[in-house]
Amino acid sequence: MVVKPSPGVVLADQSACPPAFQLQDVTLRVGRKTVLDNVSYSLSAHGALLLRGPNGAGKSTLMKALVGLLQPAQGSVRVLGRTPDQARGHVGYMVQKAEAGAPMLPALSHVAATIGGQFWGLAWPGRRKRAALALLGLTGAQSMAGVATGYLSGGEMQRVALASALSGAPRLLLLDEPLAALDPQARHEILSLLKRLREKLGFALVMTAHESLQASSLGPDTREAWLCGGRLSSEPLGEGG
């Protein structure tokens, strides 16, 4: 089935098949703490990874390495077959506990600002506005376009933040604790949304989570990994994994 994207939305490139990311003998440190200790790991081009681990294990730090904000002490990090810096334009990143930096501005402004970045809070060309509305429509947030983000609920704000993360038509989407502080209904809705978006847009996904949920909630080809004590394993490690 061929999916025709909405205006302003581009499907992920299905013809390119390097791994979504690949770690080769990577050691990653923050100060004196070792987050990864000589770890090798990879995620398939269209796969999904549910990354678990106790607080402070380094899940957010690993995501920063994948977008090139942190360099490994040794080893190689490749994202979509390139260095993280080279791949950054093809990676969407939603930080933990997404909050509105300008809560008085409407959701449309926040999303439009991610499409090029130079129109924050100002009037946009019609094409940019249509693209932002299309992204909000993808995440079920189009009705919130004119609402100041300071008035949105946690689940609504996550939908707006997700629309922003999708603005570059990413081939890899990184979501840091997107379910944190959401009520059970909102968590279920966000998971269902992510599963539908993966099916429609074809991106690879890495998501951190503490909540009890099945990996299958994110769709097929979803794996789980636990990060603790510098190790990355397909089985729980230590306490709190």
Give a yes or no: residue 13 inside a domain. Answer: no
Give a yes or no: residue 108 inside a domain. Answer: yes
The CB density around residue 115, as the number of other CB atoms within 10 Å, is 19
Which of 192, 160, 222 is closest to 20 using CA atoms?
222
Which of 219, 218, 126, 221 is closest to 175 using CA atoms?
218
Give a yes or no: residue 9 inside a domain. Answer: no
Q: What is the mean pLDDT of the chain?
A: 86
What is the tens place of the pLDDT at every residue in 52-81? 998 889 999 999 999 999 999 999 999 999
Higher pLDDT, 131 or 235: 131
Give a yes or no: residue 25 inside a domain. Answer: yes
How many structural domains comprise the chain?
Answer: 1
Give a yes or no: residue 74 inside a domain. Answer: yes
Give a yes or no: residue 91 inside a domain. Answer: yes
CATH code of the domain in which 119 resides: 3.40.50.300
Backbone angles phi, psi at 87, to 5 degrees: -90, -5
Note down the domain range covering 96: 21-233
Q: What is the pLDDT of residue 241?
A: 40
Give a yes or no: residue 132 inside a domain. Answer: yes
What is the tens place of the pLDDT at every residue in 77-123? 999 999 999 999 999 999 876 665 678 889 998 898 888 655 444 45
Give a yes or no: residue 140 inside a domain. Answer: yes
